[in-house]
Amino acid sequence: MTTLTLFCGLPGAGKTTLATRLEAQGLGVRLCTDEWQGALGRGHDDTELHERLQRRLYEHALTLLRHGVDVILEDGLWTAPERAEKLEDARACGARVELHVFDMPYDVLRRRLADRLAASRPGDHPVTEDGLARAWDLFQPPSPDELALVDAVRRHGGGWR
């Protein structure tokens, strides 16, 4: 049975670090919209391209699952409807779902994002403190009922707001 590995977390939580490690361990093909957009030489402010590319990579993920390939989908999945869609589609492909939940405190995220901006590495998605504040307000932590629907839950970090 194939596995769709999903991530639920805000910018700076460690999703890319973990996703890269899981891929290196042979646990799936990693798909990361931010990375692809950077490789195409397009800035992260091109939200139209980001949304189109994210949708296309997701369609590709489903194709891979249907062909028996494990997938690591490196999106933050900030809202319950996004996560529900991914779970339903994975089930339709006959895949199991593993969800990594990153519940980092705001100050930790802010510090990590400041470090990321200072390092300015190619491919990094620069997120300002204003961007983090907007994301924090939009974020919906998964409910216990939602977590009960996936095959495996892995928690990272320390507690919600």
Tens-digit pLDDT profile for residues 2-43: 999 999 999 989 898 899 999 999 999 999 998 898 888 887
- pLDDT, residue 46, reads 85
Question: Residues 139-155: what's their mean pLDDT?
Answer: 97
Report the CATH number at residue 28. 3.40.50.300
Q: Is the pLDDT of residue 151 over 90?
A: yes
Range of the domain at 72: 3-157
Gap between the Cα atoms of 18 and 161, Å rounded: 22
pLDDT above 70 coverage of the chain, percent: 94
In this model, does residue 160 exceed pLDDT 50?
A: no
Per-residue model confidence (pLDDT) at position 159: 47
Confidence of residue 152 (pLDDT cuts 50, 70, 90): very high
Query: What is the total count of domains within the chain?
Result: 1
Alpha carbon distances (Å) from 58 to 17, 33, 62, 140: 20, 9, 6, 21
Task: Return the axis-axis angle of helices 129-138 and 106-119, rounded to nearest 10°.
Answer: 140
Confidence of residue 115 (pLDDT cuts 50, 70, 90): confident
